[in-house]
Amino acid sequence: MGPSCSSGGVGSAPSSDQRITVRSAATEEVIGSVPEATEADVDRAVAAARRAFDDPHGWSTWEPEDRAKALRRLADELDQRAEATVHAVSSQNGMPITIARAFETSYPSATLRYFADLVSAQPVEETRPGFFVASTTVRRTPIGVVAGIVPWNVPQSLTMSKLAAGNTIVLKPSPETVLDAFILADAVEAAGIPEGVVSILPGGRELGAYLVSHPGVNKVAFTGSTAGGRAVATACAQLLRPVSLELGGKSAAIILDDADLDLQRIGQNLFNATLAHTGQVCFLGTRILAPRSRYGEVIDVLEALIESTPLGDPLDDTTLLGPLASRAQQQRVADYIDVGIAEGARVVTGGPGRPEGRERGHFVRPTLFADVENSARVAQEEIFGPVLTVIGYHDDAEAAQIASDSQYGLGGTVWSSNPERAMGVARAVETGTIGINGYIPDLGAPFGGVKGSGYGKEWGPEGLAAYQQLKSIYHFE
Ligand code: NAD
């Protein structure tokens, strides 16, 4: 069975008798259960976060260097629990374990160390010469109690960026990924982060909605679907509560006609940018834009990529494509494969049904659709699974226009052997982030979407600023 349950930072276990049962994505067997938090637990956690924030000697008043030391200790504690974490994540949501090692252990601890360095190097106050006054002191302070709502796909990585600026935080992970959230709670305690600074409340969307509107919360950081983000933004608008929204995507991978298509050289990068975590990452470029002059070649390369990528048990080190996170997600992706066929897309590889030999678990067949119009549902809607659609284009300008013709704008890639030409196309696409010949969101730069992909930034100095507030103090002499 799964790890024992405690509630991080609050100091006592959730009060409910209800439990959330967690099943393995690969075998559908029960692998653990945790107590489900109630609204009373949210009240207690927010009160604890409030006390910890308002404490005159508490976390928010610590010197940045002391907070940075605590974040580095937390990074070390997480590193010590790395294998337990990746095992929990892979078992729960089916993320192949080698990918979980990058996303769920290297990223969170690197994020903590990055923000520790940033916070300790940043002056709390800076004084600028004035225009109408003698000078102005600009003071940066944490915002207060942050409610962090995170999805099931990369729970730890998304959690870390919200811990760093001196706020106290109440986190609600997805019910599908609660086991690793308890490992995080354990690491928070071991790192000596004061009680109430981090609380973790396993529960569903109703609990999330209650937390978002809680009177004791000062900011909401929501990562999840665009539909969920809309509901959260509506609640926050009524309360005039700041919110950052990291939402869905349907990004384009633009292959220019001078791109290197040798899978030996580009296969790893192409996989990471289009199919990582079995297609369940918000920034993946799942709309592949292929030049008409090399359309057939692009199809052949993608077909070879999909067919040569090992699919199987997520706990096996050689697996790169696993099951989907839940039965609902499996059904959703299977439905989209039917939609694509009904819309007239050509199935190059994959299609309906399960992969051979995978009778249990939330597996689907990784699917490549060719001859897709950008207006098709499978090109416009976020599928969140291993389904790629290939759309033809004539020139760079048309490629950028098709890439931007989406309700979303989160990630994307440009593939070319000419860096300047690639930059030109990258500049033209309406999106929050884009990679050239590969894609990994980098810690040092702002990450976030435009349009239906949300607003607000994580990572980089801009990501820290999103969790700080500014006060201007005017001096007259
Ligand atoms: P989801 O919106 O269903 O749930 C996300 C989290 O929000 C869960 O914890 C859920 O319980 C909670 N939630 C849902 N509705 C809520 C509401 N009205 N009020 C409060 N809480 C609510 O999303 P999901 O299916 O779990 O995750 C996948 C989605 O997340 C995809 O659309 C993906 O693109 C997106 N995502 C975006 C990013 C990003 O950084 N932009 C990162 C990861 C995932």
Residues 205, 348, single domain; the answer is: no
pLDDT-based confidence at 477, cuts 50/70/90?
confident
Name the token pair of 451. Answer: 């349009």
Query: Residue 443: inside a domain, yes or no?
Result: no
What is the per-residue DSSP string for 217-278?
A: --EEEEES-HHHHHHHHHHHHHHT--EEEE----EEEEE-TT----HHHHHHHHHHHHTGGG
Residues 218, 314, single domain; the answer is: no
Q: What is the DSSP letter of 78?
A: H
How many residues does the structure list for the chain? 477
Nearest in space to 282 (alpha carbons), one of 223, 367, 216, 341 = 223
Q: Is a pLDDT exceeding 60 seen at residue 12?
A: no
What is the per-residue DSSP string for 395-452?
A: SHHHHHHHHH-SS--S--EEE-S-HHHHHHHHHHS-SS--EESS----TTS-B--SGG
pLDDT in tens, 291-349: 999 999 999 999 999 999 999 999 999 999 999 999 999 999 999 999 999 999 999 99
Query: Residue 191: inside a domain, yes or no?
Result: yes
- Report CA(245)–ligand 1 centroid distance (Å): 10
Query: Residue 349: inside a domain, yes or no?
Result: yes
Residues 260, 243, single domain; the answer is: no
CA 142 to chain centre: 23
- Report CA(429)–ligand 1 centroid distance (Å): 25
Q: Is a pLDDT exceeding 50 seen at residue 385?
A: yes
pLDDT-based confidence at 11, cuts 50/70/90?
very low
Do residues 92 and 34 touch, judged by C-beta distance below 8 A?
Answer: no
pLDDT in tens, 19-36: 999 999 999 999 998 899
Query: Residue 10: inside a domain, yes or no?
Result: no
Query: Residue 86: inside a domain, yes or no?
Result: yes
Q: Which of these ranges, 16-25, 295-304, 373-382, 386-395, has the smallest mean pLDDT?
A: 16-25
Residues 199, 347, single domain; the answer is: no
The residue whose CA is least distant from atom 36 of ligand 1 is: 224
Query: Residue 112: inside a domain, yes or no?
Result: yes
Mean pLDDT along residues 396-415: 98
Mean pLDDT along residues 38-63: 95
Mean pLDDT of the chain: 93
Q: Is a pLDDT exceeding 70 seen at residue 3?
A: no
For position 354, what pLDDT does the model report?
96
Catalytic annotation present for 236: no
C-alpha Rg value of the chain to the nearest Å: 23
Residues 211, 339, single domain; the answer is: no
Quote the longest CA-to-CA distance of the chain: 78
Mean pLDDT along residues 240-255: 97
Q: What is the tally of structural domains in the chain? A: 2
Q: Rounded to the nearest 5 degrees, what angle is found at the Cα of 275, between the Cα atoms of 272 and 276?
A: 55
| Catalytic residue selected from 77, 104, 176, 282 | 282
Domain of 320: which CATH number? Answer: 3.40.309.10
Residues 228, 273, single domain; the answer is: no
Mean pLDDT along residues 393-412: 98
pLDDT in tens, 132-150: 999 999 999 999 999 999 9
Mean pLDDT along residues 169-174: 93
For position 476, what pLDDT does the model report?
97
Residues 400, 308, single domain; the answer is: yes
Q: Which residues contact 365 (CB under 8 A, 6 or more apart)?
A: 337, 349, 350, 351, 352, 353, 354, 355
The residue whose CA is least distant from atom 37 of ligand 1 is: 247
Does residue 9 or residue 222 have the better pLDDT? 222
Atom of ligand 1 nearest to the CA of 447: 40
Atom of ligand 1 nearest to the CA of 453: 41
Domain of 56: which CATH number? Answer: 3.40.605.10
Residues 266, 151, single domain; the answer is: no
For position 15, what pLDDT does the model report?
62
For position 1, what pLDDT does the model report?
29
In this prediction, what percent of the chain has a pLDDT beyond 70? 95
Query: Residue 328: inside a domain, yes or no?
Result: yes
For position 258, what pLDDT does the model report?
98
pLDDT-based confidence at 16, cuts 50/70/90?
low
Q: Is a pLDDT exceeding 50 seen at residue 57?
A: yes
For position 102, what pLDDT does the model report?
85
Residues 198, 268, single domain; the answer is: no
pLDDT-based confidence at 5, cuts 50/70/90?
very low
Q: Is a pLDDT exceeding 80 seen at residue 13?
A: no
Residues 71, 129, single domain; the answer is: yes
Does residue 4 or residue 396 have the better pLDDT? 396
> Given ligand 1 and candidates 89, 160, 205, 384, which is best to mutate, with the most ligand atoms within 8 Å of its CB?
205
Query: Residue 445: inside a domain, yes or no?
Result: no
Residues 218, 277, single domain; the answer is: no
Determine phi and psi for 194, rounding to 5 degrees.
-60, 155
- Report CA(302)–ligand 1 centroid distance (Å): 29
Mean pLDDT along residues 52-78: 94
Residues 272, 415, single domain; the answer is: yes
Q: Is a pLDDT exceeding 90 seen at residue 161?
A: no
User: Residue 336 belongs to what domain range?
Assistant: 252-436
Pocket of ligand 1 (CB under 6 A): 149-154, 158, 172, 174, 204-205, 208-209, 212, 223-225, 228, 231-232, 246-249, 282, 382, 384, 410, 449, 453
In this prediction, what percent of the chain has a pLDDT beyond 90? 87
pLDDT in tens, 425-466: 999 999 999 999 999 999 999 999 999 999 999 999 999 999
